[in-house]
Structure 1
Amino acid sequence: MLEIIATNLTDVKDAEKFGADRIELSPAMSELGITPSYGLIQAAVESVNIPINVIIRPHSQSFIYNKNDMEVMKRDINMVKSLGANGIVIGALTKDHTMDDDVLTELLAVTDSLDVTIHRAFDFARDQKEALLKLAEYKQITTILTAGGNYRAPEAVEQINELMAMASETHLSIMTGHGLRLDTFETFYKSTKPEFVHFGTGARINESFDFGLDESKIKEINQIMASN
């Protein structure tokens, strides 16, 4: 499965047209993504037939959240449910850089049937294997997005393979992303064979969120995945 980051409605429509299997709706990628507006979520869901997972991140200060943040995040999750999106993308760390049980438990209590992906807060945990085992305790979480740590994914092939091996013993799937580029993607893909792949700037014109999605890149990414 190929997931593409969309930051606006044009991205959403182009992602489906160019061959994405799923969309992560995540504006403000210069700040690692912020919860999109009601209007954008509604328009996105109404405009395409592929699944849309919506990032739930109330601010860009950190991945550490207080009670006020939690109130906003729960309201946003309820908004996502009411608008009919496929799922949410969440993540939370304690000050000790472990996965935050309290925050995750509270958020998951209101997700109902939404698909749940853990975003790259996971890559900033003090110990990814410890974090994976903790996340495996939550049956509502299906997927972890990771670059194998605070790296670009092609720099962490060994770690990614170890995480995928660990995840295979659980209900979780690993989705690789961050730093994927077309010129190195085939080598990376052959070395890891992830079930899910996540592209941001690597699927864009000039490899920048300042520009739109690149149809030729997305088609080539799909060809590499289909042939390897």
Structure 2
Amino acid sequence: MILEVIAIRREDVEIAYEGGADRIELVSGIAEGGLTPSIGLVEAAVKASPLPVNVMVRPHSQSFCYSKADIAIMLRDIEAIREAGAAGIVLGALNDGGGIDHDAVSRLLDAAEGLDVTFHRAFDETADMNAAMRELARYPQIRRVLTAGGLEPAPQAAAKLGMLRKTAEEAGMIIMGGYGLHAGNIGLFVRETGIREVHVGSGARRARSFQEPLLAEEVKRIRTILDTAEPR
């Protein structure tokens, strides 16, 4: 079971490592759903622990549809993220019809050669998730898709996520479940879905709020639950 934890500060990386996380997703602008962090923060996060750091590449929160100018900025961000020593990036791009923007994705992946790549929750806004999954399978560089199975918290879409997991596995990809997961529901979630990578954010923080600190003891609780959970 892989546990990815959202970090918004350097200290979060240290705490996640102490708690037993396997990977970091580094973001800024968490109130806007996550934006590209500063390169200073990326460099600090990479140095803070041995954990692999995957960095959000999202220049604004207006939508997941990007202009040529947006793409140029994202390409430069990927270059800088690589130079800062990050293990990977987290990206997503859609067209106006709610499908995958293949031109944008292809250009971003060309710049990300050699990096670990996650397609983020833009996926949850696609018009047809199964079709979108099969389309993303065209790109061997995309190792996993982060999804809640829709716009509601992931536990509410457990059955759908279980089916998406099977579709993803058939396509040689990984589903990572995220949004609304915490120690109180994550055990049942992985048993119901069979998902073996999970993404935790506010659920490992005091009062389950990004305004509060990440808690090593909560990360440890989640780690322990995952280590003893048996997916169906």
The TM tier, using the shorter chain, reads over 0.9
Structure 2 CA distance for aligned equivalents of residues 11 and 28 of structure 1:
15
Identity of aligned residues (%): 43
- Aligned partner of 1:67 in structure 2 is 68
- Aligned partner of 1:7 in structure 2 is 8
Structure 2 CA distance for aligned equivalents of residues 185 and 139 of structure 1:
29
Structure 1 CA distance for aligned equivalents of residues 183 and 225 of structure 2:
9
**1:12 shift after superposition:** 1.4
Give 5+ residue unaligned stretches, structure 2.
none
TM-score, normalised with respect to structure 1: 0.98
Structure 2 CA distance for aligned equivalents of residues 13 and 185 of structure 1:
22
Please say if 1:112 is aligned against 2:113: yes
Please say if 1:186 is aligned against 2:187: yes
Structure 1 CA distance for aligned equivalents of residues 106 and 194 of structure 2:
31
The secondary structure found in structure 2 opposite 1:176 is strand
Give the letter aligned to residue 193 of structure 2: T
Could you give the per-residue CA deviations for residues 121-141 of structure 1, whole angstroms, max 9, x where no partner exists?
000101100100000000110
**1:191 shift after superposition:** 0.8
Structure 1 CA distance for aligned equivalents of residues 223 and 15 of structure 2:
15
Could you give the per-residue CA deviations for residues 3-46 of structure 1, whole angstroms, max 9, x where no partner exists?
00000111111111121110000111100011010100011111
- Aligned partner of 2:57 in structure 1 is 56
The secondary structure found in structure 2 opposite 1:213 is coil
**1:193 shift after superposition:** 2.6
Runs of 4+ aligned structure 1 residues displaced above 6 Å come to none
Please say if 1:208 is aligned against 2:209: yes
Structure 1 segment 1-228 matched on structure 2, within 5 A:
1-228=2-229
The secondary structure found in structure 2 opposite 1:103 is helix
**1:165 shift after superposition:** 0.5
Give the letter aligned to residue 28 of structure 1: G
Structure 1 CA distance for aligned equivalents of residues 156 and 51 of structure 2:
30
Q: Is the 8 A contact 2:182 2:222 kept in 1?
A: no
Give the letter aligned to residue 162 of structure 1: M
Q: Is the 8 A contact 2:28 2:36 kept in 1?
A: yes
Structure 1 CA distance for aligned equivalents of residues 28 and 19 of structure 2:
19
Q: Is the 8 A contact 2:19 2:216 kept in 1?
A: yes
Give the letter aligned to residue 166 of structure 1: T
Structure 2 CA distance for aligned equivalents of residues 147 and 213 of structure 1:
21
Give the letter aligned to residue 196 of structure 1: E
The secondary structure found in structure 2 opposite 1:134 is helix
The secondary structure found in structure 2 opposite 1:3 is strand
Structure 2 CA distance for aligned equivalents of residues 170 and 186 of structure 1:
26
